[in-house]
Amino acid sequence: MANLSFAPVDELWQRVGEPAGRLPVRPYFRRIGAVPPSRSSYPTQILHMVDRIVLASGSGIRATLLRNAGLSFDVDTPRVDEEAIRDAMVAEDAPARDVADTLADAKAAKVAGRHPDAVVIGCDQVLDHRGRILSKPRTPDDAVAQLRELSGERHMLLSAVVAYADGRPVWRHVGDVRMAMRPLSDGYIKEYVTRNWDSIRGSVGSYKLEEEGARLFTEVRGDYFTVLGLPLLDLLSYLVLRGTLSA
């Protein structure tokens, strides 16, 4: 039998706020005609028990972040046509925030059907530069072109995370970080891409802040984990509130 413990709801509300209070979850509730959970809809105590966690992502850095935070989880990489979803939404002038959220949701939904007993976590990240969405570079030339575009400019990273349980979305969050890139010479950009291509080929914007990419920036405003592609603190707070994790 699972070990059970109790934690006061008021204390958890103070830590994480209302779980449905971050966009785009309220529009989601409006779409399905349901009422978002409110503080008064919860009992005075929350029952804590362990859920199985599945990460719907093949990202090594996301898995490392969860593992370093002490989580035990399985990985099930979804097969989703990200490019088709992104291109369709861009063609409709969808905001970057909605694109990131939709992609994260699609990945979680794809895997949730295979793991109805688990909390499934889907993630995605997009880059917004002056309203244009940049994705992962396909070639070194793409990476050079992206860095030329971002050089001396400000842009925003948006990292979305969606949790599914019992085959339906139960929580979502989109974190954003403002980035200021220093002016880069064309020679340095080409050398940087040549040295780091194997690492940055899977990164939107063609850089990794946790590696040599730190040299590209003069300012980063926001959460470091969100830069890496996972709003880790928000996710952990939700899992604690849910009772999946103890704290």
pLDDT in tens, 125-175: 999 999 999 989 999 999 999 999 999 999 999 999 999 999 999 999 999
Q: How far apart are CA 14 and CA 8, in angstroms?
A: 10
Radius of gyration, alpha carbons of the chain? 19
Q: What is the CA angle 132-133-138, rounded to 5?
A: 125
The answer regarding whether domain 5-242 maps to CATH 2.40.10.350 reads no
Region of poorest pLDDT, from 6-15, 57-66, 91-100, 179-188: 6-15
> pTM for this structure?
0.78
At residue 247, the pLDDT reads 84
Give 237 or 38, the one with higher predicted confidence. 237
**Structure-token pair, residue 64:** 């490392």
Catalytic status, residue 124: yes
At residue 4, the pLDDT reads 38
Q: How far apart are CA 99 and CA 88, in angstroms?
A: 10
Helix (H, G, I), strand (E, B) or coil at 134: strand
Among candidate residues 124, 128, 176, 234, the one labeled active-site is 124
Q: What is the CA angle 44-48-50, rounded to 5?
A: 160
At residue 8, the pLDDT reads 42
8 A C-beta contact, residue 85 and residue 106: yes
Question: Does 177 score more than 90 pLDDT?
Answer: yes
Strand partners, 129: 132
Mean pLDDT across the chain: 84
- Helix pair 140-150, 186-200: axis angle to 10 deg: 130
DSSP code at position 107: H
8 A C-beta contact, residue 105 and residue 170: no
Residue appearing with tokens 């990131």:
100
Q: What's the whole-number mean pLDDT along residues 75-99? A: 93
Q: How far apart are CA 175 and CA 229, in angstroms?
A: 9
Helix (H, G, I), strand (E, B) or coil at 133: strand
Query: Euclidean distance between the first and final Cα of the chain, in Å?
Result: 20
Q: What's the whole-number mean pLDDT along residues 198-203? A: 94
